[in-house]
Structure 1
Amino acid sequence: MSSRGLGFGLAGVGLLCAMLAGCGSDAGRGEAAQRHIGLSTSLPLLWAESDDPRELLAADAKPSWAGGLLAEHGQLTPLDTLAGKDGQLPLPDDALLVMIQPRALSPQENLALDAWVRGGGHLLLFADPMLTQASRYALGDPRRPVDLAMLSPILAHWGLVLEFDGTQSAGERLVRLREGSLPVNLPGRFHLLGNSGDGFPDRGNHGIAAPNARSGKSGDALARCRLESSAILADCVLGRGKVLALADAALFEDPDAGVPLADRRDLLSRLLSRAESGD
């Protein structure tokens, strides 16, 4: 999440975090309270779109359902950058990083993210090639969510390409995942950049068994990926870490417009659990 877009920086985000039940700091939540979850997003999940920072920090300001859910699952840390002063991703090695339509990453952030995942980090990524979520901000406004996912360098490094079919019809529809029905609207699909090595076994989940994917460039990806649900989901092992990527972010749109809120919450919880696991 970029403080440049919000205008009041991480200090304001910290106050918003406090609204989210301490961002998972309540010791009464047991194991979930000890789990570290990093969040990088351009979507208004911890704040409401507003021109007035005072409105964002008002006592009755409410985070989105997704921001609240993430806080329930662990100690939530909003990230303004993926590369700290030491050039490393500012999360513990065993944390979960959730990236939901993030802004474009700098070369330093790409390096930090790659090293962190390979070292054992787990990433849940929602990368939408054609975001359909409405925004009050005009095109070009830095506060507007990123309309087109711009993660090609890091995805290619891992052996993945995010493709988009411009001929598909707009409108929310459901795609079956093993965790449940995922609402999508103008989704993308993942494509593997060449194959090499031993296959990543298909666990019978209507997936496409995919061997190690390589981009063909020296030093590029050794991710072992399985594509599922018409390649909208990529489940990858990278070094000692894991990447669970989805090519759409319609899950985070207005729950009153389609799939009920309870179903969206349940699906996101299941995806968080899958990303955290080694399965």
Structure 2
Amino acid sequence: MAATRKPALIAAIVVAVLAATAAWVVLARGPGERHRVGLFTTLPILWNEAGGVGEMLASKDGPHWARAALAEEGPVTALDTLTPDTLRGVERLVLAQPRALSPDENVALDNWVRGGGEVLLFADPMLTEDSRFPLGDRRRPEGTVLLSPILKRWGLELQFDENQPFGKRSVAAQGTAIPVNLPGRFVVLKPAPCKVDGRALVARCDVGNGRVLAVADADLLSRDDPDGAGQAALAALMARAFTD
């Protein structure tokens, strides 16, 4: 009898997860939608950190504030891989502390950008936000972003000063106050169609027919954002990264 109930229970959980996801997507499709947004991230933005499906469904934590902010651009699609198929139809792409890309993913992403895609990238060399999962757990966000091949292809190198002090602070970039903690800095590999500002915290590159706006820190995407500084910075960066 127990063996009969187990598949039914699993099926019910899967249905509940799909229903919750579908409900969020519907809510994300507001009247002002114009673009399909892809999100490729290891950060708990679309779903809260949980040890399993049941815990995720039972969680009393509210949704991450960035989820609604991204949905302002249009319907958001979570991407597990970057391939020509998964990127087809995506007009704007947010890479938020992504995992390391495979060679095929590097090629697919580069081709997509050169074809006219727009990317907002958060590449943090030393992520400081806490996680409930221990080091080595695949569910834990990437502590150090590893994107050297694609960054070099676009004309950038991400550097990190190990001697800088720990602590939250704000860096101004073109009038936008960006919260950071142990940020990196971008160096332009000449010749490359890239410009940096905000003490090299932010880089913008024209790549073929597309563009990349990269930020060398991901602290502004921390769930804890009591003064709204992260939300304000994300809105301003999306406005710079994405053209209408």
1:135 aligns with 2:114: no
Aligned to 2:241, what secondary structure does the other structure show? Answer: helix
Q: Specify the alignment match of 2:3 in structure 1.
A: none
Q: Specify the alignment match of 1:245 in structure 2.
A: 214
State the TM-score, normalized to the length of structure 2: 0.87
**Counterparts of 1:190 and 1:106, CA distance in 2:** 22
Q: Report how far residue 274 of structure 1 moved.
A: 1.3
Aligned to 1:80, what secondary structure does the other structure show? Answer: coil
State the TM-score, normalized to the length of structure 1: 0.76
Q: Specify the alignment match of 1:172 in structure 2.
A: 168
Alignment CA distance shift 1:18-1:265 (3 Å): farther
Question: Is contact 1:89-1:116 (8 Å) kept?
Answer: no
Alignment CA distance shift 1:237-1:58 (3 Å): same
**Counterparts of 2:20 and 2:153, CA distance in 1:** 34
**Counterparts of 2:95 and 2:69, CA distance in 1:** 15
1:71 aligns with 2:65: no
Alignment CA distance shift 1:103-1:24 (3 Å): same
Q: Specify the alignment match of 1:201 in structure 2.
A: none
Aligned to 2:87, what secondary structure does the other structure show? Answer: coil
Q: Specify the alignment match of 2:204 in structure 1.
A: 235
Q: How does 1:142-161 map to 2 (within 5 A)?
A: 142-161=138-157
Aligned residues: 231
Moved more, 11-20 or 154-163: 11-20
1:111-147 CA-to-partner distances (Å, cap 9, x unmatched) read 0000000000000000000000100111100000000
Q: Specify the alignment match of 2:87 in structure 1.
A: 90
Higher helix share: 2
**Counterparts of 2:42 and 2:137, CA distance in 1:** 12
Q: Report how far residue 15 of structure 1 moved.
A: 4.6
**Counterparts of 1:103 and 1:41, CA distance in 2:** 7
**Counterparts of 2:136 and 2:16, CA distance in 1:** 23
User: Which consecutive unaligned segments of at least 5 residues does structure 1 have?
Assistant: 1-9, 196-212, 214-223
**Counterparts of 1:150 and 1:12, CA distance in 2:** 35
Question: Is contact 1:88-1:116 (8 Å) kept?
Answer: no
Q: Report how far residue 61 of structure 1 moved.
A: 5.6
1:190-240 CA-to-partner distances (Å, cap 9, x unmatched) read 012222xxxxxxxxxxxxxxxxx2xxxxxxxxxx11111111100111111
Q: Specify the alignment match of 1:209 in structure 2.
A: none
**Counterparts of 1:265 and 1:15, CA distance in 2:** 27
